[in-house]
Structure 1
Amino acid sequence: MTTVLALLIFVASYVLIMTEKWNRALVALAGGVLLLLTKVYEWEEAFGFIDWETVALLFSMMVLVSITKKTGIFTYMAIRLAQLVKGRPVPLLVVTAIFTAVGSAFLDNVTTVLLFVPVLLSLIEKLKLPAFPYLLVTIFSSNIGGTATLIGDPPNIMIGQAVQHFSFVSFIYHLGPVVFIIFSIMLTLSVLLFRKRLTYDQELARRLMELDASEHLNKSKLLFQSVSVLLLTITGFMMHPFVHMDITTIAVSGALLLLFLTDKELDVEHVFQEVEWVTLFFFMGLFMLVGGLETVGIIDELARGMVWVSGGDLPITSMVMLWSSGLLSGVVDNIPFVAAMIPVVQELQGYGMMNVDPVWWSLALGACLGGNGTLIGASANVVVAGLAASHKQPIPFVKFSLYGIPILIMSLAVSSVYVFFRYLIPFL
């Protein structure tokens, strides 16, 4: 009976998260509380299931970006990029993609689109360009770029915390090459598809060139402090294997250092108010929901089922993981999917698979790239859609999918070839 209850609560919560009728954090936490009320587990176990390192890492990055945003550096960079290409529509599409991909890799994709999309929409309005191609490319670039690093996409953060020997550099080394290939193909296809719709207006471009980007820049001590600490923190992530300090400690240290340095200029309480608490509580609720499945043994059964389907064969398991995570993440948000799959992969080692690293990389690629399939496939997609709607530039769900699904299939096909030749040939 307990098993049935845990499964019903998990599925019901999942469906409600997909429908977006209620705030997803409320739904996830309500599911966790229902597991407590039905005695699936007790409070001590529930807190044990929450990955506090992931929550602390996300919180720290939110604090760092929240303070840095006040300097206007991100708006300044966006305007300067548009002026660099002299307001020409196709080059603007290219630099939009590159800026979003790089920002998503080193800040995380949700934060990047939150900062960049309002500025991008303003630039598009000034140049009287169609918003859809730029918003589409921004979403694709955020998910693809975020795949390349440990902090780029929430699924990667979760996987990085679950596997102790994966470092910040590990993600770049293993996922960076295939991300670069997929990004290049996506960008080439986007330019070919949209170049005829992006018309150049010389007069509007001239007005853009007359804008003073430095007006948006807060040239103060805060600018130097925030940019320095942010760069120092990212450097710390890269030095993680050499300094033997986990990335959560590095991120928390960076956030605290910046809070101390800016204590006179900024109210700490105001900074904390700008933290995306809904996202953090959503993660907590998800960990509690998946913990319910672990408690009643469903996760263990899923692992056994995967071993049975693949016959314990690592190459087949990796490909099944890549495509299943990619296709399913295109339909549902990739965060709850990865939360459910992490303990499944961990259980595989108990069934004779000693080296499951290829399965981890397949899960990361599938979950992050799968977010491009539909408008609800990833948190960054939902954020961009919301920002676009508030600027009266709505993104139609079906129209997005007509472009997103081919990009998703292309990404998974390229990833399959990459995973096969880089990791799986020795196991055949």
Structure 2
Amino acid sequence: MATLLALLIFVASYVLIMTEKWNRALVALAGGVLLLVTKVYEWEEAFGFIDWETVALLFSMMVLVSITKKTGVFTYMAIRLAQMVKGRPIPLLAVSAIFTAVGSAFLDNVTTVLLFVPVLLTLIDRLQLPAFPYLLVTIFSSNIGGTATLIGDPPNIMIGQAVEHFSFLSFIYHLGPVVLVIFGSVLTILLLIFRKQLIYNPELAAALLEMDAREHLKVSRLLFQSVSVLILTIMGFMMHPFVHMDITTIAVSGALLLLFLTDKELDVEHVFQEVEWVTLFFFMGLFMLVGGLETVGVIDELARMMVWVSGGDLPITSMVMLWSAGLLSGVVDNIPFVAAMIPVVQELQGYGMMNVDPIWWSLALGACLGGNGTLVGASANVVVAGIAASHRQPIPFLKFSIYGIPVLILSLLIASIYVYFRYLLPFSS
């Protein structure tokens, strides 16, 4: 009976999260509370299932970015980038993609699009350019760029916390090369597709060049403090293997340091109000839902099923994970899928698979890249769509999918070739 209840609550919560009729954090938390009410587990177990390190890491990065954006440095950088390409539409598309990809890798993709998309829409409105190509490229770039690092995309954060020997540099070393290839391929194709729609207007470009980007930059002690601490925190992530300090501790230390430094200039309560609490509570509810499946043994059965389907063969298991993660994440948000798959991969080690690292990398690639399939495939997609709609530039679901599905398939094909030759070839003989 407990197994049936846990499954029904999980599936019902998942469906409601997909439909987005109610706030997803509210749905996830309600599902977790139902598991408590139905006695699937008790409060002590529920709190034990929540990955507090992931929650603390996300909270810390939100605090750092919330304070830094008050200085206008992100807006300043966006305007300067547009001026560097002299308002030319095609170079602007390429620069926007690169800026988004790099920002998504080192800040996280949701934060990056929240900061960049409103500025981008203002720029393309001044240049009287169609918004759709820029919004599309921004979404694709955020998900691809976020794949490259541990903090770039929520699925990677979750995987990084689940596997002790994965560091910040591990993600760059293992996923960075294939991300560069996928990003270059997708950007080249999109530039070719949209080049005829992007018409250069010299007069409007000249007006953009006359803008003073420095008006948006608040040069003050806060600027130097926030940028310095943000850079130090990212450097700390990179030095993680050498300083022997986990990235959550580094992120929390950076956030607290900046809060102390800016205490006299900023109200801490106001900073905390700007934290994306909905996202954090969504994660908590999600961990509770997956914990219910783990309690009743569903996760263990999924692991057995995967071993049975693949025959315990590492290459087959990795490819099944890559494509199932990619295709399913294209239909639903990738966070719930990864939350369910992490304990499955952990269980695989109990069925004779000692080297599961290729499976972890396959899960990360599939989940992050799969977000490009549809408009609801990743949190960053939903955020961009919301901002665009508020600026009267709605992104049609079907129109997005016409581009998103081919990009997803291409990305998974490139990722499959990469995973096979880098990790699986020795096991295929």
Q: CA deviation at 1:427?
A: 1.0
**Code of the aligned partner of 1:165:** H
Structure 2: which amino acid aligns with 1:319? M
Report the counterpart of residue 206 of structure 1 in structure 2. Answer: 206
Counterpart residue number, 1:355:
355
Which residue does the alignment assign to 1:159? 159
Q: 1:426: how far off? A: 1.1
Q: Which residue of 1 aligns with 2:106?
A: 106
Aligned equivalents of 1:277, 1:107: Cα separation in 2: 17
Give the match for residue 239 of structure 1.
239
Deviation at 1:344, TM superposition (A): 0.2
Q: Could you tell me which residue of structure 2 aligns to residue 281 of structure 1?
A: 281
Matched letter for residue 7 of structure 1: L
| RMSD between aligned residues | 0.2
**Residues 1:265 and 2:274 aligned together:** no
Q: Report Cα offsets for 1:188-222 as digits up to 9, x if no partner.
A: 00100000000001000000000000000010000
List aligned pairs for 1:166-205, cutoff 5 A.
Answer: 166-205=166-205
Name the CA distance, whole Å, in 2 between partners of 1:18 and 1:252.
Answer: 32
- CA displacement 1:314-368 (0-9 Å, x = unmatched): 0000000000000000000000000000000000000000000000000000000
The answer to whether residue 377 in structure 2 is matched with residue 373 in structure 1 is: no
Measure, in 2, the Cα distance between the counterparts of 1:252 and 1:340.
26
Residue in 2 that maps onto 1:218: 218
Kindly report structure 1 stretches of 4+ aligned residues shifted beyond 3 Å: none
CA distance in 1, matches of 2:229, 2:59: 16
For 1:331 and 1:409, the matched residues in 2 are separated by 13
Alignment-mate amino acid for residue 25 of structure 2: A
Match of residue 410 from structure 1:
410
AA aligned to 2:386 is G
Q: Distance in 2 between matches of 1:318 and 1:390?
A: 41
Alignment pair present for 1:85 and 2:76: no
TM-score by length of 1: 1.00
Partner secondary structure for residue 175 of structure 2: helix
- How many angstroms does 1:171 deviate by? 0.1
Q: Which residue of 2 is the match for residue 8 of structure 1?
A: 8
AA matched with 1:128: Q
The residue that corresponds to 1:36 in the other structure is: 36
5 Å-filtered alignment, 1:291-330, equals: 291-330=291-330
Find the counterpart in structure 2 of residue 423 from structure 1: 423
Deviations 1:385-427 (A, max 9, x none): 0000000000000000000000000000000000000000111
Deviations 1:278-315 (A, max 9, x none): 00000000000000000000000000000000000000
CA separation in 2, counterparts of 1:64 and 1:204? Answer: 35
Runs of 5+ consecutive residues of structure 1 not aligned to the other structure:
none
- Percent sequence identity is 87
Shift, 1:185, TM fit: 0.3
**What amino acid maps onto 2:372 in structure 1?**
N
Which AA in structure 1 matches 2:296? Answer: V
| Structure 2 unmatched runs, 5+ | none
Distance 1:158 1:412 in 2: 21
SS at structure 2 position matched to 1:199: coil
Give the equivalent residue in structure 1 for 2:250: 250
Matches of 2:383 and 2:341, distance apart in 1: 24
Tell me the secondary structure at the aligned position of residue 312 of structure 2. Answer: coil
